[in-house]
Structure 1
């Protein structure tokens, strides 16, 4: 079965927004005059902003509402997003996206991020023209490792799952692709800590290794 569609995760695959979220949260903690330990911050991984804010209110007996705290964090995030000079696309990913696009491969973004963040990334880095569909967290009833996001993305591409490939960087994302029975390429970045790649069909550290001539043996 030839490869017809590639389903991209966003965070950790196209961009790495985690350092920006971290800076925005810690700026918010300073504003709230609270000291959040590394252990507590690590426990927030994968949690929604609302849940993080509710945890902070309970943990530190704060008077603010979760909406107020979330707005503060969001404002800081936006500021870093547009002004932090270190924030860029993951090396090699734009060349890979253009390579697939020029070879007629359909591209779908399959992310649990908000559509606002997705659109900010697409606008800043001029990615909109390459993708024929985008899925955000709001489109999903279940989160990874449930396969819903990738099954929806495959459906959006109009291609059967055996003609699709997922690019992921996290344990939960790889497991979701595996459960959807879609070929999964795991991207191992310098930032991927403690992720389990055993269920990935191939693992790369350089996006050049996912060019069509390199992966044709799998399809």
Structure 2
């Protein structure tokens, strides 16, 4: 969801930077790239190495989440280009879809509700419903179970290398729609293609 369906990764990055600034340290672009597409558990472990104290990590993450809420209430959050066109195509051709997000279910539902997208998705698998986060394939395997289709018949859309690797491990074809991280030689090897926006996925579905 984050960075693929809604333009929220920039919000998280901004909130993390503001929270860190208030606490007297820095969150870099490299830090944000390292935690893209991962779970809250991984996020806490990552910043524990940076801050060295569980109490400071909790303070930072709580402050970051509050700042995210403030930014969204003040500025809202945009949906990604081409999403409506892609969803309309899926509706017209009977293609079911599942959101498989490392975020909390409550956050996923809040974003879907605030953007009006909630009715447009069949089901959700969230980060708090899996034991292992991306790049482990568990979240995509659970999504396959909900769709009741074999891996070769599914398609994953991802914006992060962790998600692409998770799809690859699940043997599900994957297309990259980049957000904050540009494609690399490795992601190019793991994907069917890299496209500029979600509407550009439609020709692959038509095949």
- Residue of structure 2 aligned with 1:99, choices 68, 72, 89: 89
The structure that is strand-richer by fraction is: 1
Whole-Å separation in 2 of the counterparts to 1:152 and 1:67: 29
Which runs of 5 or more residues in structure 1 are unaligned? 1-9
- Residue of structure 1 aligned with 2:17, choices 14, 22, 26: 26
Aligned pairs (5 A) from 1:44-55: 45-46=35-36, 48=40, 49-51=43-45, 54-55=48-49
Question: Is 1:58 aligned with 2:49?
Answer: no
The structure that is helix-richer by fraction is: 2
Q: CA deviation at 1:174?
A: 1.6
TM-score (structure 2 length as normaliser): 0.83
Q: CA deviation at 1:128?
A: 1.4
Q: CA deviation at 1:124?
A: 1.0
- The root-mean-square deviation of aligned C-alpha atoms, in Å, is 2.6
Whole-Å separation in 2 of the counterparts to 1:90 and 1:20: 13
- Residue of structure 2 aligned with 1:175, choices 165, 182, 196: 165
1:192 is matched with which residue? 181
What number of residue pairs does the alignment pair up?
201
TM-score (structure 1 length as normaliser): 0.79
- Residue of structure 1 aligned with 2:64, choices 69, 73, 94: 73
CA distance 1:84–1:52, change in 2 (3 Å): farther
Q: CA deviation at 1:72?
A: 1.7
1:166 is matched with which residue? 156
- Which runs of structure 1 show a deviation greater than 4 angstroms over 4 or more consecutive aligned residues? none
Bigger Rg, which one: 1
